[in-house]
Amino acid sequence: MSETIKVAELATELLALAKPLAAFDMPLLDAHGATLALDVSSGEQVALKSGSRIRATQIGLAASLGLDRLPTRPQPRVVIVSAGDDLVEPGSPLRDGKDEYETNSWLLTTAVKEAGAVGYRVHTIPENAAQLKDVIEDQLVRADLLVICGERNDESFSLIYSVLNELGKVREVLPLIEGSGKHAFGVVGPDQTPVVSLPGDPIFAYISAELFIRPMIRNMMGLYDIHRPVIKATLTSDVLSEVGKHSFIRGILSSDKPERRRITPIENQGDLIGLSDATGLIVIPENEGGAKAGVEVDVLVLERRFN
């Protein structure tokens, strides 16, 4: 039986697993995309600040100072695995009405890359416990974080959870997120590698990746800005949500005036097309049953650029 857990509590538990990776001197070109672990000074002036992501301009600046290496925290290596006997690799035909195209590993591998990690998509879909255990054990050698998803409606969650329990210590929880499914988290393998199992539904797998996996990755990198920005925006139409659970409603941000942002809820909340179009998540707290058009709401920004 899954224990319920508040969103903030789960986020705190997961961040505790995502300790910053050890820093080391990295060759200059290899340091691109990593995080500066120490200040780099030019005379008495700090030229490069610790905790900042190393971009092209920082590489150029370091080279101009005569440096061929930088003290960095590397990009975490995140392995994404999908499990379920009804999952079919895109490009292959569906065998029957129960089959579904495997979506989550494609979605989440690119999402972790966007967060700053090195993402590895496992090109296999384990159908039973023995196969899944073999896959996980094989992947642990290159994983700083392991993320696993199953089928829609969490049909393969029991398989995933039992294997993770065999390989380490994990906890099964049900976050208070409207529409979401079961999660599991803990550590597995000889190196106590952090692992998180997300819901099988792609929309809620992605929302959990934004809420939980992205901050974990950025914390492991030693960055200061680990969370997406949250802004205020005026709601253009009414939204409903379930009291007692957080809701993250997909919407499109716009501006009708330079000083005022607006958020329009997407009509079909259960559609991946709507998720693809969304530039923000309307955040409705668990003690509220929705919000009326014209009120200001918190919006978690998925993209910084919007019309």
The rounded distance, in Å, linking the Cα atoms of 18 and 262 is 34
Note whether 66 and 97 are same-domain residues: no
pLDDT in tens, 66-91: 999 999 999 999 999 988 888 888 88
pTM of the predicted model over 0.85: yes
> In this structure, are 12 and 141 located in the same domain?
yes
H or E stretch at 273: helix 272-277
Verify that 85 and 63 share a domain, yes or no: no
Q: Examine the domain organization and report whether 29 and 97 are in the same domain.
A: no
Q: Which runs of E-coded beta strand occur in 90-211? A: 100-101, 118-121, 145-149, 168-175, 183-188, 193-197
Q: What is the pLDDT of residues 110-151, one digit of tens each?
A: 999 999 999 999 877 777 899 999 999 999 999 999 999 988
**Would you say residue 307 lies in a domain?**
no
Last residue of a domain, one of 171, 188, 220: 220
Domain count, the chain: 3
Q: How far apart are CA 110 and CA 104, in angstroms?
A: 10
Structure tokens given for 110: 């690119």
Q: Which of 174, 195, 220 is the last residue in one of the domains?
A: 220
Estimate to the nearest angstrom the gap between the alpha carbon of 265 and the chain centroid: 22
User: Domain for residue 306, yes or no?
Assistant: no
The answer to whether the beta carbons of residues 158 and 200 sit under 8 Å apart is no
The range of the structural domain enclosing residue 52 comes to 24-72
234/262 same-domain check: yes
Do 27 and 62 form a contact (C-beta atoms < 8 A)? no
In a domain, 225, yes or no: no
* Pair (36, 180) in one structural domain: no
The domain that holds 273 is classified in CATH as 2.40.340.10
Q: For residues 257 and 234, is the Cβ–Cβ distance under 8 A?
A: no
- Spatial CA neighbour of 160 closest among 121, 192, 190, 186: 186
